Amino acid sequence: MLELKDITKTFGDVVANDGASLKVEKGTIHAIVGENGAGKSTIMRIAYGFYTADSGEIFVDGKKAEISNPHDAIELGIGMVHQHFMLVDTMTVAENIILGAETGSAIGLDLDEAAKRIRELSNDLKLGIDPNAMIEDLSVGEEQRVELLKALYRKARLLILDEPTAVLTPQEVKDFFSILRRMKDQGETIVIITHKLEEVLAVSDHVTVMRDGKVVGDVKTSETNKQELAKMIVGREVLLRVEKTDSSPDGSVLEISNLSVGGKHGRAVEDISLQVRSGEIVGIAGVEGNGQSELIECLAGLVPASDVSGRIDFNGKEITRASARRRKELGIAHIPENRHKRGLLLDFDLAENAMLGVHYRPPLANAVGLLDGAAIEKRTEEIIHDFDVRPPKPHLPARSLSGGNQQKLIIGREFELDPKLLLVSQPTRGVDIGAIEFIHRKLIEMRDRGAAILLVSAELEEVTALADRLLVIREGEIVGEVDPKTTSVEEIGLMMTGGQ
Ligand SMILES: Nc1ncnc2c1ncn2[C@@H]1O[C@H](COP(=O)(O)OP(=O)(O)OP(=O)(O)O)[C@@H](O)[C@H]1O
Ligand SMILES: [Mg+2]
């Protein structure tokens, strides 16, 4: 169905694809895996005409194809769903789907006709999408199905999905895979980029492994396993589980009493009390959107005081109303869940991002606040080196890094502060398995040095593997504490959903 031959693509002096070739067979689900920055998104964006290759050839259905923009790709039956959805909230499903599809047509938009076809497509695949629903009323999982419908409406025969499950809950992932299988049964060809090896094994027929812009492996899914894939991806043996000793917690660092936090739709956090001690990782498990984001943001000082009631103490001192800057000065670091909104200034370079939040004080600035260029350079080099940020160029804009490398930069910056309390949200979202192993090890080292860590993750496996104590949050309330060593993922799942 698709062949990419000898594709090379550079951005400035960064080689994103380096003579990469791959073939996708018709009617299969084809996974593409590889480290952060390996060139997965780039090569697929070339197939979709989002970028044009510097050299190389593309064949569709065995015929050489010129794809110089997404319009060409759509004409050839190629669709792509990007990791960040591109839907307009205040419009209906049908309106979103025909947006763009009808440009250049002299005939007016026939919404009713479109809605009818969308309903048929949705019914065929059991997507359960109402064409007249407003996007803002849909869940993330539903929005994703709208993106699929949008591609199918444009008659895509080959669908490229870039990390489609990163934002889905475990149940949504299952449903999503059933949909992909039904699409395959109807003759669709699907390319899925993912970092999750369980997913590769569960849903794909074929796997291509990329590293440093090249294709380094090509296997049938039925003939490989997790360990082997991990090794091909990283180029060495990878530890696929977290190794840690029991914690030996010390004094209380963070003490939360009867904390409530207002949110967009009323109260997001309801009367939470909890404690995190020095030398322990306290995990919070919950379905996303149950108050965990607001809780962490409130602790980091990012929620207006008027939305907060209750009390937060840090090392015996009340900080409920302290500013974010003050909290950072006291020794609280924050790895935010949304790296674009909260973690980085995308148009600033790596060095500038590496000093965010501590740029005004020694050692990065002198006593009167003048930046010390040499100190900043040194700090940046350390982060890049210790956290393996690629490409290792302090003066690239953060925007040009791949998602996983952006995350490593943020984690490096916050770790460099040597915090007493670390607030961590979704530390490994979009991060490759080698880097996950690394980040997990770093978190445990940080714990063993005596830091108190509060960890929120939508990955149940991650939070159970890392946490010494695990709290379950539902509708803004802590509904229970479990021992992560003895409680099954199913039991925790039931608590998270209230047994539904
Ligand atoms: N628009 C761009 N400008 C500059 N550099 C870019 C751009 N897009 C990608 N790159 C660089 O090209 C390389 C490959 O990036 P790409 O996004 O394809 O990686 P990836 O395999 O999708 O990684 P991830 O798993 O983190 O998403 C990276 O080094 C990245 O920094
Ligand atoms: Mg990518």
Closest ligand 1 atom number to CA of residue 404: 26
CATH topology of domain 2-234: Rossmann fold (3.40.50)
Residue of 383, 425, 191 whose CA lies nearest to 286? 425
Question: How far from 240 is each of 51, 218, 252, 428, 434, CA to CA, in Å?
Answer: 34, 21, 32, 14, 9
- Smallest Cα–Cα separation from 193: which of 409, 430, 6, 438? 430
49 lines ligand 1 (CB under 6 A): no
273 closest CA partner among 256, 290, 251? 256
Every domain of the chain with CATH number 3.40.50.300 lies at 2-234, 252-497
- Counting from 1 in the atom list of ligand 1, the atom nearest the Cα of 432 is 25
Q: Is the CB of 27 under 6 A from ligand 1?
A: no
Is the C-beta atom of 391 inside 6 A of ligand 1? yes
Among protein residues, the one with the nearest Cα to ligand 1's atom 1 is 400
Name the band, by pLDDT with cuts 50, 70 and 90, for residue 341.
Answer: confident
Least confident of 240-244, 263-267, 315-319, 429-433: 263-267
Ligand nearest to the CA of 15: 1
- Helix or strand (DSSP H, E) at 142: helix 140-153
What is the percent of the chain where pLDDT is above 70? 97
Once rounded to an integer, what is the mean pLDDT over residues 296-323? 96
- The string of DSSP codes covering 308-358 is EEEEEEETTEE-TT--HHHHHHHTEEEE-S-IIIII--TTSBHHHHHTTTT
Q: How many residues belong to the chain?
A: 500
Centre of ligand 1 to C-alpha 350, Å, is 15
Closest residue CA from atom 18 of ligand 1:
39
Whether residue 44 has its Cβ less than 6 Å from ligand 1: no
Instruction: Kindly state the average pLDDT of the residues 452-459.
Output: 93
Tell me, using a 6 A CB cutoff, whether residue 402 lines ligand 1: yes
Is any atom of ligand 1 closer than 6 Å to the C-beta of 434? Answer: no
Sign of CA dihedral 493, 495, 498, 500: positive
At residue 109 the predicted structure's pLDDT band, cuts being 50, 70 and 90, is low
**Residues 99/139, Cβ–Cβ less than 8 Å:** no
Q: Which residues of 239-256 are buried (b: 16+ CB within 10 A; e: fewer)?
A: eeebebeebebeeebbbb
Q: Spell 2-31 as b/e; 16+ CB within 10 A means b.
A: bbbbebbbeeeebbbbbebbbebeeebbbb
Q: Which residues fall within 8 angstroms of residue 87, CB to CB, at 6 or more apart? A: 96, 135, 143, 146, 147
- Cα(11) to ligand 1 centroid in Å equals 9
What CA–CA distance (Å, rounded) separates 402 from 389?
A: 10
Reduce the DSSP state of residue 252 to 3 states and report it: strand
Rounded CA-CA distance 152/159 in Å is: 8
Phi and psi at 493, nearest 5°, equal -55, -40
Which is the closest atom of ligand 1 to the Cα of 403?
26
The answer to whether the CB of 14 is under 6 A from ligand 1 is yes
Pocket test for ligand 1, best of 402, 411, 433, 439 (most atoms within 8 A of CB): 402
Tokens of 70: 């997404």
State yes or no: pLDDT of 107 exceeds 70.
no
pLDDT at 106 over 60: no
Q: What's the pLDDT score for residue 361?
A: 86
Instruction: Tell me how far the alpha carbon of residue 398 lies from the centroid of ligand 2, in angstroms.
Output: 14
For residues 197-226, give the mean pLDDT. 96
Mutate to test the pocket of ligand 1, among 22, 42, 191 (most ligand atoms within 8 A of CB): 42
**252-497: in CATH 3.40.50.300:** yes
Is the CB of 77 inside a 6 Å radius of any atom of ligand 1? no
Ligand nearest to the CA of 32: 1
Question: From ligand 2's centre to the CA of 406, what distance in Å?
Answer: 11
| Cβ of 215 less than 6 Å from ligand 1 | no
- What is the three-class DSSP state of 474? strand
The residue whose two tokens read 């996007």 is 135
Cα-to-centroid distance, 144 and ligand 2 (Å): 17
The dihedrals phi and psi of 152, each to the nearest 5 degrees, come to -70, -35
Which ligand gives the minimal distance to the CA of 406?
1
- What type of residue is 341? K
Atom of ligand 1 nearest to the CA of 213: 14
Mutate which of 10, 11, 429, 436 for ligand 1 pocket (most atoms within 8 A of beta carbon): 11
Residue 108 has pLDDT above 70, yes or no: no
In angstroms, the CA 2 to CA 58 distance is 7
Nearest atom of ligand 1 to the alpha carbon of 9:
12
Angle CA 45–46–51, to nearest 5: 85
How far apart are the CA of 43 and the centre of ligand 1, in A? 10
Residue nearest to atom 11 of ligand 1 (CA): 16
The reported pLDDT for the residue numbered 489 is 83
One-letter amino acid for residue 302 of the chain: L
d(CA 392, ligand 1 centre) in Å: 13
Ligand nearest to the CA of 407: 1
DSSP string, 73-129: HHHTTEEEE-SS----TTSBHHHHHHTTTTTT-SSPP-HHHHHHHHHHHHHHTT---
Is the previous residue joined to 394 through a cis bond, with omega within 30 degrees of 0? Answer: no
Nearest CA to ligand 1 atom 4: 400
CA dihedral 201, 203, 207, 212 (to 10 degrees): -90
Q: Tokens 């029991």 belong to which residue?
A: 246
**Residue 397 pLDDT:** 95
CB of 404 closer than 6 angstroms to any ligand 1 atom: yes
What's the pLDDT score for residue 25? 97
Residue 102's pLDDT band (boundaries 50, 70, 90)?
Answer: low
The closest-lying atom of ligand 1 relative to the alpha carbon of residue 163 is: 27
State the CB neighbour count (10 A cutoff) for residue 71. 13
The ligand whose atoms approach the alpha carbon of 40 most closely is 1
Q: 104 pLDDT exceeds 50?
A: no
Compute the average pLDDT of residues 339-344: 87
Mean of per-residue pLDDT scores for the chain: 91
